[in-house]
Amino acid sequence: MENKNEKGIGLFSLIAIIISGAIGGGVFNLANDLATGATPGGVVVSWAFIAFGILMLVLSLNRLICIKPKLSGVSDYARAGFGDFVGFLSGWGYWISAWTGTIGFGVLMMTSADYFFPGKFAEQNGSLTLLSIIILSVISWILMLLVVRGVESAAVVNAIVLIAKLIPLVVFVVVGLVLFKANVFTQHFWQTFTTNLSADGSIKSLAWSVMTGSSLLGQVKTSLMVMIWVFVGIEGAAMMGNRAKKKADTGKATVIGLVVLLVFYILLSLLPYGFMSQQELANVKAPGLVYILNQMVGGWGGTLMAVGLIISLLGAWLSWTMLPVEATQLLAEQKLLPKWFGKLNEYNAPSNSLMITQIMIQIFIIITFFVANAYNVFIYMATAVIMICYALVGAYLLKLGIQEKSIKNSLIGFFTFIFQALALYLSGWQYVWLAAILYMIGFVLFTYAKRENNRKVSKKEWTAMAMITLLAIMALIVLIHGGEDGSALDLRGLLGL
């Protein structure tokens, strides 16, 4: 008989955590982000590829929830399958991903406020103004204090916010269907535009080329990070599994959340192609849906979408305030972080973990004042790091499948691992390289936790930490001195420094 936690989180709240956590800011910028490198046909192919990969991830999570009910969350699977250090890498990476993602939420929130007060909250290069820094700092501390008073109660608030923020998205879908023009949608279904700039910066050519196999791969490649980002949070129920009323609800919530998200994302990304050309969409100011709906129905549409986006971001931020501390608390329980991180307050919330996470968020909110394209930098780093966590989920299920001679589990785990590894390879490793700097902080804590529990750091663990630290030092050197060329590894160029 399944153990129940009567004071835990119910099925609806688990679904709300997943959907609200995933439907953050990315979906509101989905159409114009995709249009910068993909045609309608390219988007359709990309969605098919992404949907398969995310489905494999969801199935992997569901299988692990069923066959390993005592394990809780992504990092726990990595530790059980590959040892303490890999479990720490997954848990610390999940922590990094969650709070850096909230920085992206904050940047987009201020960009949305710019719709009402142009130039007050965001600069043209994507960095934030001093006023935005102050506002985001206040909001982040309020949300942290809310979660400190109890994770379960915060989840209920999150469910209420979810209902409010879905309204403008539903309105957009209805309007998009009514105004959809098949001739616009199909005009350049398999073609994309390219703009070449000459040395002096003048336009050299603007041509539409027939899609080839290689250009299709390019379209999928440019769509990967954007599409995977809007699914980050799908594992939310698994991470909150130890707080659920019924363990079985975590699997149900994940599947239901995936179906809802897929329907919304596909409609919201494709319908704009039936109203505007790809080139027009690519040039729409961020956040895209705000300005697209404004063109569709007038000022009230932009206002509705902007308000909905701000509510959406607040809800997603609330969800993501819960998720990272679940990871650090679990690591503390596993003796992979100092006991200090696992300390609970009177509301059964990990107050110390919340505080250290909030301090990191505060520091990086200030950094957004100096970083160009801050939204893309932080959400892409969050996505890249969590793809490693997702890949380890698949690798663990693959290992179990081989051990138990289960073809089904082996295949699901294999496809999950391959998809995440391939997507990360195609998207580039520069964001993981940047995140290596934050891993150095974790290594100090990991080493301290080992000594605190009278356990030695193995030679393999020291070697792995040394290699990652070397990458982090290289990243710091590039940030200080800049890259030698404009390659993908030019982190200064990436940050607009």
CATH topology assigned to domain 11-190+212-495: Amino acid/polyamine transporter I (1.20.1740)
Residue 119 has a pLDDT of 81
Answer yes or no: are the C-beta atoms of 21 and 316 closer than 8 Å: yes
pLDDT per residue as tens digits for the range 317-344: 877 777 788 788 888 888 899 988 888 8
Answer yes or no: are the C-beta atoms of 119 and 433 closer than 8 Å: no
> How many C-beta atoms surround the C-beta of residue 226 within 10 A?
26
**Among the listed residues 255, 262, 260, the one whose alpha carbon sits nearest the alpha carbon of residue 236:** 255
What integer best gives the mean pLDDT of the chain?
A: 81
336 φ/ψ sector (left φ>0, alpha ψ -120 to 50, else beta): alpha
Which has the higher per-residue pLDDT, 144 or 214?
A: 144
Residue 490: is its pLDDT beyond 60? Answer: no
Burial 335-357 (b: 16+ CB within 10 A, else e): bbbbeebbeeeeeebbbbbbebb
Q: How far apart are CA 333 and CA 41, in angstroms?
A: 48
Residue 191 has a pLDDT of 66
Residue 397: is its pLDDT beyond 50? Answer: yes
Mean pLDDT value across residues 294-312: 87
| Range list of β-strands (E), 163-320 | 191-197, 203-210
Mean pLDDT value across residues 264-289: 87
Answer yes or no: are the C-beta atoms of 237 and 250 closer than 8 Å: yes
Cβ-based burial of 242 (10 A; exposed 0-12, middle 13-18, buried ≥19): buried
Q: Which of 222-231, 304-313, 351-360, 476-485 has the lowest mean pLDDT?
A: 476-485
**What is the H or E stretch that residue 14 is in?**
helix 11-22
The domain limits of the chain are: 11-190+212-495
Which of 124-128, 206-210, 334-338 is most confident? 334-338
**Among the listed residues 22, 109, 101, 96, the one whose alpha carbon sits nearest the alpha carbon of residue 313:** 109
Answer yes or no: are the C-beta atoms of 47 and 219 closer than 8 Å: no
* Terminal C-alpha separation, the chain: 58
